Chains A and B, each alone.
Chain A
Amino acid sequence: KNQVEQSPQSLIILEGKNCTLQCNYTVSPFSNLRWYKQDTGRGPVSLTIMTFSENTKSNGRYTATLDADTKQSSLHITASQLSDSASYICVVRDDILTGGGNKLTFGTGTQLKVEL
């Protein structure tokens, strides 16, 4: 069964500090991996996407990495701000071209809180 595991489940950091969130997956065959940010009371919003051939992608202070061999991804947040407080969800898509069925597997998210 395809799975996406995220760690830690929750994290509290001080404003200005960096942090790294982890995502391990068993989805196969793999098509792409996307990180979403979900603010409280809102729907998730896409931050980055990486395909098999990409191993890093940045979006401002957010940098995602992908190791397709070990099936691991990380999301690094630099110089955190209060507005970074949110849930971060890792989503992996299987490979439709090999009959995977176009399915998305969601992690349960990491709840990040940034404090003064």
Chain B
Amino acid sequence: DAGVIQSPRHEVTEMGQEVTLRCKPISGHNSLFWYRQTMMRGLELLIYFNNNVPIDDSGMPEDRFSAKMPNASFSTLKIQPSEPRDSAVYFCASRSVGDNSPLHFGNGTRLTVT
């Protein structure tokens, strides 16, 4: 299995632009998570889906952030409009059924908003 695949690996954009991050989870995993990682705050959960349905989006910082999971093999995280404080590494992770199943992370998208 190729693992969780994220694209792009790096994104540099100007303030005010729309940014779309993409994720393909591991086949057969029924939960998908979006995290943001910064030096100051570590990993923070933004939103997670079970069976393509958003379960908890309380970590989404503002209405500028939105996430979709149209099917079991694809999810997007969109920021519109982007701001410099959104600069961070965004990780997607997936997990199979089971309380003790580990998260499988992608290699992240490093977002820089200037």
Contacts and interface: CB of A to CB of B under 8 A. Distances in A.
Contacts of A43: 4, 91, 93, 105-108
A49 B102 contact: yes
Nearest to B9: A41
B103 interface: yes
A106 B43 CA distance: 7
| B contact face: mostly helix, strand, loop, or mixed | loop
A107 B42 contact: yes
Range class of the B interface residue count: 10 to 19
Nearest to A44: B105
A51 interface: yes
A56 B100 CA distance: 16
A106 to B, nearest CB: 5
Interface of A: 31-32, 34, 41-46, 49, 51, 89, 93, 96, 104, 106-109
